[in-house]
Amino acid sequence: MSPSASSPAPPQDAHPTALSHTDDAVTLLIARQPVFDLGDRLVAYELRYRADGAWEHTLGANPDQLSPEVFATTLLGIGVQELTGGSLAFLDFPEQQLREGTWRLFAPEELAIGLPNSVRPTPEVVHACREIVAAGYTLALGDFRFQPEYEPLLALQPIVKVDALAHPPGDLAGIVAQLRAYGVRLLAERVETEEMHRLCRTLGFVLFQGYFYASPETVARREPPLAQLTIMRLLNMLRYPEISDAELDEAFSNDPALCYKLLRLANNAGTGQRGIESIGHAIRLVGRDMLHRWLALLLVSSLIGESGTRGELALQAMTRARFCELLYGRGRGGHDAGSAFTVGLLSLLDAMMRMSMTDVLSHVDLASDVRGALLLRSGPLAEPLALAEANERMHVDTMRHLAQRHTLSLREVGQLQLAAMRWARERLLPGL
């Protein structure tokens, strides 16, 4: 299986993140970044890894020094499917693992074998790559710069990754023209903006990896769609205890589809109860705290639409929310875990709605500490969000510093992140 025009099922968990797996004193940090096709569909994740703790000290975090047994056992222990939700995983294999066939422990449909640019195309490496392709795996050449010695590998028609930030646009055009003659598929790496995304599409790249999806261009000030405005209005009303159930009932009644979803939620919450009598009855049965949380989740999930990038952002936001909540739930933050949840959940609304965060928050009346964390990244609620963001980009020094402030090890951070991913996956199943 390879990334192609066919779109996989929605990812079970889908955002870049750093996880950890520990064996004795060893922690292997694993990060992932989504790969999109020309239709903005999620087709794969790239998995990256580095050692921390004892390995970092003794091995200099050099993956090629990891034994094939430790390398494979670590990934198999976590589970590739657990990291990708069923999408294809791009994973660089150091030369030793290529030659020793460690990749055979994974199924062709779950893994694309990456050749790092540090690995030279020796006869042994070329032979291993031919075996990889013959066995039905996808081969990918990383951070590629053309040299004649790579022609035996290009003849295998792999996916070729090109660093979009490392070359001026004119040079990129020449690289694309040269490589397309070999019939390869081109993947643009480090695509950080929508402008760069458009350029790479124009040049002939068919796969795109980077953080462009999380920072789309902000359009001129505009109103959110009506459905989102209704949810935002209800979120605002729930901030004030003096708002009556009758007023909430009236606000819900303006949106029949939202009423239906509330009734379904109330049915689930009211196991053993008689039938729901009214919207007001449903509100009382659910409770205002749960109602606020449900509406916030509904706001994010309603923005997914048909775009794979929007779906990725929604999953990322929900994972951030749960991670922030779990961090405070350990009793080390001294702050309301529900507020931490809200900060994480709303932290990507500007990218999802293509509005500035200032404009987004003009429609939602939030507590000052929540607003400060979202707009200024200040205050106690900003810390769990900062740790979540460092986690996503594998900024290990920042991760370690922030984790220590909460008396957490990187291993524990990874465990919280994995739990948050699972939670987000369950909440974004159809029927939320």
Q: Tell me the domains of the chain and their CATH numbers.
A: 18-214 (3.20.20.450), 226-427 (1.10.3210.10)
pLDDT for the residue numbered 65: 52
Summarize the confidence of residues 164-183 as an average pLDDT.
90
The bridge status of strand 159-163 relative to strand 42-53 is: unpaired
Q: Per this entry, what is the length of the chain?
A: 432
Q: Is residue 4 pLDDT above 70, yes or no?
A: no
273 band by pLDDT with thresholds 50, 70 and 90: low
pLDDT for the residue numbered 337: 82
For residue range 343-398, what is the model confidence (pLDDT) as tens digits? 998 898 888 878 888 888 887 778 889 899 999 999 989 999 999 999 888 888 89
Q: Rounded CA gap, 144 and 43, in Å?
A: 21
Task: Give the dihedral sign, CA 138/28/324/378.
Answer: negative
Q: Rounded CA gap, 33 and 45, in Å?
A: 5
Q: Rounded CA gap, 21 and 34, in Å?
A: 21
DSSP conformation letters of 207-275: EEESSGGGSPPP-SS-PPPHHHHHHHHHHHHHT-TTS-HHHHHHHHHT-HHHHHHHHHHHHHHTTT---
Residues 6+ apart with CB under 8 A from 312: 11, 14, 15, 34, 42, 213
Q: Rounded CA gap, 391 and 241, in Å?
A: 36
Report the DSSP beta bridge partners of residue 113. 91, 139
% of the chain with per-residue pLDDT over 90:
24
Summarize the confidence of residues 9-17 as an average pLDDT.
37
Q: Which residue has the tokens 């013959």?
A: 134
Q: Which residue has the higher pLDDT, 35 or 431?
A: 35
Contact predicate 351/215, CB 8 Å = yes
For residue range 224-268, what is the model confidence (pLDDT) as tens digits? 666 777 888 888 788 778 888 888 888 887 777 788 888 888 887
Q: Rounded CA gap, 224 and 360, in Å?
A: 8
Q: Rounded CA gap, 198 and 55, in Å?
A: 40
Q: Which amino acid is at 195?
A: E
Integer distance in angstroms from the first to the last C-alpha of the chain?
A: 30
DSSP conformation letters of 264-328: HHHHHHTTT------HHHHHHHH-HHHHHHHHHHHHHHTT-TT-HHHHHHHHHHHHHHHHHHHHH
Half-sphere exposure of 125 (CA within 13 A, CB side): 21
The bridge status of strand 111-115 relative to strand 138-141 is: parallel
